[in-house]
Amino acid sequence: MPAGRERVSSRMQSLPTKPLRGFSKTVRNANMPAPMLNLERSLGWSIGLLAAVFALFEITPLDLWVQDRLFDFQREAWLIDGREPAGRVLFYTGPKAAIIAFGALLLVSLVLPASWRTRLPVAFRSRRRGWALFLTLGLVPAAIGWSKSATNVFCPSEIRRYGGDVPYVRVLESYPVGDRPQRRGRCFPGGHASGGFALLALAGLAHDRRGQWLGIGIGLTVGSLMGFYQMAKGAHYLSHTLITALVAWIGFLLLQKAVGVVSRPNDADGFPFMDSRNTQPR
């Protein structure tokens, strides 16, 4: 090789190398676990998504379009009869009782002496994460219930379009002059589904990425089933269910911060949830 090329080659080899911005500084082999999601980093865009979803349903007829497909105008009946016992047990009273029982057992586990807590499953040994889950199960439905009394929105089955006696009015709209109901509506957001979506906080107990997705999946599945049941019997709109899900997730993240929970990502992977800091679980 000519002397000039040898000098250029040696200089290039001596230059310091830097990883590309947004990529991991380490090379992960096949045996290393996938990095955990940094749930805290989803707070900002979750709030933005909440505002966007709210605006979408305020300026479009999407809620009515969905409800029209769940209502039989010829029979004047909803897709699901809310008085049918089996469906009510499976999607209303049953899930509600199970979530309350789970919350009660969780509270018992949180007040156990430290020596007894070592016998619990690993996911339930952190008091802070347990308190974040318990508070989410209790405070999110409570906050949703309070807001229902303040928004003055009626359920689909109560508006004239579906056989009710009140006009359809969105959250930020005013009632027509001379057509204001004597009673207040108590339908927005979705109170029943809030208990199911509060289970999204199970993701905070996880010790690996798979467990985080499992917790998120459980919360989304239970909340969505409870929410769809309410929609299909005329008790809520789609917007109520989606906004309740986002409020539950945001509430969980804020409560984690309030009790001092720190994320435990173990690597960076270029994803919006990922963080390169190696923090220890608390």
Instruction: Give the helix ranges, DSSP H, for 152-237.
Output: 191-197, 209-232
Cβ count within 10 A of residue 170: 17
Report the C-alpha gap between 154 and 181 in whole angstroms: 10
pTM above 0.85, yes or no: no
* Among 66, 52, 102, residue whose Cα is nearest residue 246: 52
User: For position 238, what pLDDT does the model report?
Assistant: 98
Cross-strand bridge partners of residue 77: 72
Residue 77, phi then psi, degrees to nearest 5:
-140, 150
Report the C-alpha gap between 208 and 61 in whole angstroms: 41
Asked whether residue 67 carries a pLDDT value surpassing 50, the answer given is yes
Percent of the chain residues past pLDDT 70, beyond the cut? 81
Place of tokens 């505002």: 51
Asked whether residue 127 carries a pLDDT value surpassing 70, the answer given is yes
Report the C-alpha gap between 58 and 261 in whole angstroms: 35
Contact 208, 33 (CB under 8 A): yes
